[in-house]
Amino acid sequence: MTDNASGQIIIVNGSSGTGKSTTCAEFVTRQCDPWLMLGIDQFLGSIFPRRYGHHGERCVEGVRAVPINTADPDGPQRWQFGDYGLRGFAVFHDWIATASRAGCSIIVDHLMIQDPPILQDCIWRLDGLPVLFVNLKPPQEVLMDRVAQRKIGTRFSNSNYDEQQIARSKKRLEQLRPWFYEAVYLNDCFDIEIDTALHTPDRVCEQIEQRLEAGPGSAFSTLRGRYAKPASTTVCEPGSASDRCEESI
């Protein structure tokens, strides 16, 4: 934490199985200064209401898994957001920005997908703040092996699924996995990219620390040059009399 200065933000991107959560936890443990930690699994599994998630009965309003090919409902799927899903991720990103503006450094594991526009929303909500954009990308075959060994239903604090729910969840995640890999790595602009199949968590953290010594990243600034500010992006003006939020057009 620093006085009168924005806290450093680290966004760690990567598909499931890359070691995002492990990296973030290890990084925070290694630091002498206090760092906050936030993650996409924590947000979707423990904060975002389950009924609006892609396993829930109201997913169409939140985060929905839909077939890529409507003629093949049992084939590969992808995410589709309803209004509550878009607003939920906007809040997630605003939390990150608020922490930084309060002088707290924060590391976040994320899925920086362009469609739905998660990446576009994030880069603009963090405009003006110091962000290091990290990409973790081991070979796809390594990822497939890692995620195949994971147990569904034990990763989130509110995951108390019965056996039938676990089976349905596992099938849906298997259907989503190919799209996740493609969507998460569609963007090619990062401050640092690391193959976590070649490096231990300690070594991954060392590389992030070494990159931080060179100063804040520039990837988010570059990406804002590629993507116009979404019309739905809300910019909160801290310190004003009403702390009001103005809709960006």
Residue keyed to tokens 């979707």: 44
CA distance 54 to 212: 36
Q: What is the DSSP string of 89-139?
A: HHHHHHHHHHHHHTT-EEEEEE---TTTTHHHHHHHHTTTS-EEEEEE---
Count of the separate structural domains present in the chain: 1
Amino acid occupying residue 236: C
In 3-state terms the chain splits into helix, strand, coil percentages (rounded to 5) of: 40, 15, 40
| 56, part of any domain | no
Cα separation, 190 vs 115, whole angstroms? 18
Tell me the average pLDDT across 213-229: 95
pLDDT surpasses 50 at 107: yes
- How confident is the model at residue 172, as a pLDDT? 77
- Distance, in Å, from the CA atom of 195 to the CA atom of 133, rounded to the nearest integer, reads 15
Strand partners, 66: 78
pLDDT at 84 over 80: yes
- Dihedral of CA atoms 123, 124, 130, 136 in degrees, nearest 10, equals -10
165 located within any domain: no
Does 80 reside within a domain? Answer: no
Percent of residues, the chain, with pLDDT higher than 70: 82
The candidate with the shortest Cα–Cα distance to 182, out of 85, 79, 87, 82, is 79
- Nearest CA-CA partner of 143 in 174, 109, 188: 174
Residue 34 or residue 231, greater confidence: 34
Distance, in Å, from the CA atom of 63 to the CA atom of 89, rounded to the nearest integer, reads 10
> What is the C-alpha R_g of the chain?
18
Question: Which residues have a Cβ under 8 Å from the Cβ of 114 and sit 6 or more positions away?
Answer: 120, 183, 186, 187
Backbone torsion region of residue 206, taken as left when φ is above 0, otherwise alpha when ψ lies between -120 and 50, otherwise beta: alpha
Does some domain include residue 131? yes
Going by pLDDT thresholds of 50, 70 and 90, the confidence category of residue 123 is very high
Q: Is 60 within the bounds of a domain?
A: no
Looking at the predicted structure, is the pLDDT value of residue 206 above 80?
yes
Give domain status of residue 160, yes or no.
Answer: no
Report the range of poorest mean pLDDT among 114-128, 165-179, 231-245.
231-245
Question: Which tens digits make up the pLDDT trace of 9-21?
Answer: 999 999 888 899 9
Per-residue pLDDT reduced to its tens digit, 28-78: 999 999 999 999 989 998 899 989 988 788 999 999 999 999 899 888 999
Torsion, CA 20, CA 21, CA 27, CA 28, rounded to 10: 150
| Cα atoms in the 13 Å half-sphere on the side-chain side of 35 | 18
Indicate the range of 41-55, 82-96, 134-148, 164-178 predicted with least confidence.
164-178
CATH number for the domain that contains residue 148? 3.40.50.300
Centroid of chain to Cα 108:
7
The dihedral built from the CA positions of residue 95, 101, 103 and 109, taken in this order, carries a sign that is positive
Q: Is the peptide bond before 116 cis (omega within 30 degrees of 0)?
A: yes
Does residue 64 form part of some domain? Answer: no
Q: Using alpha carbons only, what angle is made at residue 110 by residues 108 and 111, rounded to the nearest 5 degrees? A: 170
Question: What is the reported pLDDT for 17?
Answer: 84
- The predicted-structure confidence for 133-162, as pLDDT tens digits, reads as follows 999 998 887 777 766 666 554 444 445 556
User: Given a cut of 80, is residue 168 above it in pLDDT?
Assistant: no
Domain membership of residue 199 as a residue range: 9-48+88-154+185-247
pLDDT of residue 233: 61
Q: What value does the mean pLDDT take over residues 82-99?
A: 97
pLDDT at position 158 is: 45
Residue 215 clears pLDDT 80, i.e. is over it:
yes
171, part of any domain: no
> Would you say residue 94 has pLDDT above 90?
yes
For the chain, give the mean pLDDT: 85
Amino acid type, 186 = L
pLDDT tens digit sequence for 189-200: 999 999 999 999
Q: Which residue has the higher pLDDT, 233 or 9?
A: 9
